[in-house]
Structures are given as structure tokens and as C-alpha cells.
Amino acid sequence: MHIPDGYLSPQTYIPLYGVFAAAVAVAVKKVKKEVSARDIPYLGMAAAFSFIIMMFNLPIPGGTTGHAVGSAVIAILFGPWAAVVAVSVALIIQALIFGDGGITAIGANCFNMAVFMPFTAYYLFRLFSFSSARKGRVFFAAFISGYLSLVMAAVLTGIEFGIQPLIASSSDGKALYCPYDLKIAVPAMAIEHILLFGIVEGLITLIIIRYFLRNEPGLIYAFRKGGKIENK
């Protein structure tokens, strides 16, 4: 899901840089208010976790590869604004040091995976968990939150790819940037994440939420922010 350099037109990547910068500005204020200093090590670990989990490329036999992102679980544990900062740090280091994701596409990639995805995940989690505080319900919500947020972020990425031929083509009909249009890019991005990578994101979200529920339930941002957990 890391868009490389040359796939997005300036008409796409410049506005997305702007949106990302605005999100970071708000995130800095929110994190300052919401996160206590003693939880700083957790934020470092969250960013490192996101970095590592994105390295686990998984194959769809006969197709392409892809990976989970970790944004969903970070958003539930530490809040969507903290996730904005943590996942952005991981993505920017991937782009700068490892060439994974373009420099011009940093705004787009961070917007997709570090802004859109954690917020989608966070609100999905609250939507699916809070009518009940049963643990089974919480685990279900965690899975759905990871699964759907990654699929939706993939669709968003597919849209960004897919609008390129509409925005910028030369007079002979050849695309200047991503050559595939919406009809191809969106299903391609959606299907592989629906089939495999979304499930992986859902499972790691579930497993880690379960781990924190057992070890440090008071830490979980989504619960502190509203609702309660039942300790059975």
C-alpha cells in the first residue's frame, strides 16, 4: 500500500501533503493533552511495531503481496491521534531509509495508513463494541476494526491510483502517472485486502487487544474515553 514516486500526479500528492500536515498539527496538540509522559515508551514501541509488521509481506498465491499496517490496534490502545504520529514516523523512515513508499507520496501514504486508517479503525471499534461490554464482543469489534479499516484504506489507495489516468494523460492517451484507472485499481486493491491482508490486520488487532486486556486494561484508550470493560 506504499505508493512509490511517480505514480501520483502533483495535483494529487501536493493536496495530500497539505491534509497530512494539518492532521499532524492537530495530532501534536491532541497527543500533548491525551498521553501521559509515563506512556511515552509505549508510543515508541507502537511505532516500531508498525514498522516491523509492515515488513511481513504475505503472498496471495498467483497474485501479489501485501501486508498489515498495525494502525488499528495502535488507535484503539493509544488513541487515533497518537496513532497518527506513531505510524507516520514508521512510514517516513521506511520512505527515507528503505525507499518503501515515495518521497513525493509521503503525504498520501501517511494520509492513507496513518490518518484515515486509525480514525476509521477507532470509530469502527467503538461502534461495534460499546453496545455491549462482553469480552467476546470486544474481541469481535477489534477484529472487525482491523479488518475493515485496512480494507477501506486499501480502497482509498486504489482510488488515488485510479484517478491518475483521468487527471494526467498525454494527448496519445498514455497515462503520465499510474496507468490503471478506477475500474482496475480499486478492485485490485480491495480484493487482496479483503481476502488476506485485512484478515491478518484483524487478527493482530484482536490478539494484541486481548493481551492488553489481560495485562494492563487501564491503559486502553478506547475504554478510558468511554464505556467500561467487564472483568469476568
Partner 1 sequence: MLSGREVKLRINKLQKKILIILLFLCLLTPIGILLPAFFNTGDDWGEWSAQTVKELVGYIPKGLIKYSDVWKAPLPDYSISREDLSIVHRSGYYLVSGVIGATVTYIVMLLISRLIIRNGK
176 forms part of the interface with partner 1 (CB under 8 A):
yes
CA distance to 23, 29, 189, 213, per residue, from 162 (Å): 24, 34, 10, 40
Q: Which of 41, 136, 218, 226 binds partner 1 (CB under 8 A)?
A: 41
Scanning 35-43, 112-120, 138-146, 223-231 for contacts with partner 1 by CB under 8 A, the matching segment is 35-43
DSSP three-state, residue 175: strand
Angle, alpha carbons 58-164-107 (nearest 5°): 65
- Residue that the C-alpha cell 460499546 belongs to: 130
CB of residue 35 to partner 1, shortest distance in Å: 6
DSSP three-state, residue 39: helix
Q: Which of 25, 40, 166, 195 binds partner 1 (CB under 8 A)?
A: 40
Phi, psi (deg, nearest 5) at residue 59: -90, 145
Q: Write out the binding residues for partner 1, residues 187-216 only, by CB under 8 A.
A: 188-189, 192, 215-216
Dmax over CA atoms of the chain, in Å, equals 67
44 forms part of the interface with partner 1 (CB under 8 A):
yes
Q: Which of 19, 60, 182, 207 binds partner 1 (CB under 8 A)?
A: 60
Q: How many residues bind partner 1 (CB under 8 A)?
A: 74
Q: Write out the binding residues for partner 1, residues 98-157 only, by CB under 8 A.
A: 98-100, 102-104, 157
Cβ distance to partner 1 smaller for residue 216 or 230: 216
- Residue that the C-alpha cell 486502553 belongs to: 220
CB of residue 183 to partner 1, shortest distance in Å: 14
Strand ranges in the chain using DSSP code E only, listed in sequence order = 58-59, 65-66
CB of residue 22 to partner 1, shortest distance in Å: 16
Q: Can you read off the three cell numbers belonging to residue 100?
A: 518503501
Q: Write out the binding residues for partner 1, residues 11-30 only, by CB under 8 A.
A: 28
Q: Which of 23, 35, 77, 115 binds partner 1 (CB under 8 A)?
A: 35
CB 162 within 8 A of CB 178: yes
Integer Cα distance of 228 and 221 in angstroms: 11
Q: Which of 161, 199, 205, 222 binds partner 1 (CB under 8 A)?
A: 161
